A = this chain, B = another copy of it.
Amino acid sequence: MTNTNREWLLAERPDGEPDVDCFELRETNVPDPAPDELLVRTRYLSVDPYMRGRMRDVESYAEPWDVGDTLKGGIVGEVVESASDAYDAGDLVTGEGRWADYATLDADDVAPVDPAVADPEAYLGVLGMPGRTAYFGLLEVGEPKPGDTVVVSGAAGAVGSVVGQIATRNGCRVIGFAGSDEKTAWLTDELGFDAAINYKRTDDYRAALDEAAPGGVDVYFDNVGGPITDAVFTTLNLDARVAVCGQIAHYNDEEIPTGPRKLPQIIPVRARVEGLLVGDFATRFGEASERLTEWVASGDLEHRETVVEGLENAPDAFLGLFSGDNIGKQVVRVPSSMNE
A197 CA to B200 CA, complexed, in Å: 46
A276 interface neighbour in B225, B257, B259, B267, Cβ under 8 Å: B267
Instruction: Give A179-237 interface residues, CB cut-off 8 Å to B.
Output: 222, 225, 229, 234
Chain A's interface: helix, strand, loop or mixed, by majority? mixed
The reply to whether B274 and A280 contact each other, CB–CB distance below 8 Å, is no
A275 touches B280 (CB 8 A): no
By beta carbon, the residue of chain B nearest A248 is B264
List A266-314 residues whose CB lies under 8 Å from chain B.
266-277, 280
On whether the beta carbons of A247 and B263 are closer than 8 Å, the reply is yes
Q: Are A256 and B261 in contact (CB under 8 A)?
A: yes
- Bound complex: CA of A127 vs CA of B272, how far in Å? 27
User: What is the CA–CA distance of A252 and B269 in the complex, to the nearest angstrom?
Assistant: 19
Give Cα distance in the complex from A275 to B236, angstroms.
12
Chain B minimum-CB-distance residue to A270:
B275
Q: Kindly identify which residue among B61, B264, B280 contacts A250, using a CB–CB cutoff of 8 Å.
A: B264
A337 contacts across to B, CB distance below 8 A: none
Residues of B within 8 A of A256 (CB): 234, 260-261, 264-265
- A267 and B261: CB pair below 8 A? no
Q: Which of B61, B259, B264, B266 contacts A268 (CB 8 A)?
A: B61
Contact A268 B229 (CB under 8 A): no
For A262, list chain B residues within 8 Å (CB): 262-263
CB contacts (< 8 Å) of A271 on chain B: these are: 274-275
Cα–Cα, bound, A336→B203 (Å): 59
Q: Which residue in chain B gives the minimum CB-CB distance to A266?
A: B275
Q: Determine which of B257, B263, B265 lies in contact with A222 in the assembled complex, contact meaning CB atoms within 8 Å.
A: B263
Q: What residues of chain B lie closer than 8 Å to A261, measured between beta carbons?
A: 225, 247, 250, 256-259
Question: Given the complex, which residues of B lie within 8 Å of A246, measured CB to CB?
Answer: 267
- A244 sits at the interface (CB 8 A): yes
A2 within 8 A of B: no
Cross-chain contact of A263 among B60, B229, B268, B269 (Cβ < 8 A): B229
- Return the contact of A274 from the options B60, B229, B265, B272 (Cβ within 8 A): B272
A-B contact pairs, 20 of them (CB 8 A): A222-B263, A225-B264, A247-B263, A247-B264, A250-B264, A253-B264, A256-B264, A258-B258, A258-B261, A259-B261, A266-B273, A267-B275, A267-B276, A267-B277, A268-B277, A270-B274, A270-B275, A270-B280, A271-B274, A272-B274
Q: A244-B266, A247-B263, A272-B275 are in contact. List 17 more A-B contacts (CB 8 A).
A: A229-B263, A245-B267, A247-B264, A250-B261, A250-B264, A256-B265, A258-B261, A259-B259, A259-B261, A266-B274, A267-B276, A268-B275, A269-B275, A270-B274, A270-B275, A270-B280, A273-B273
Please give me the 7 A-B residue pairs with the lowest Cβ-Cβ distance, nearest first. Answer: A266-B275, A267-B275, A270-B275, A273-B273, A247-B264, A256-B260, A272-B274
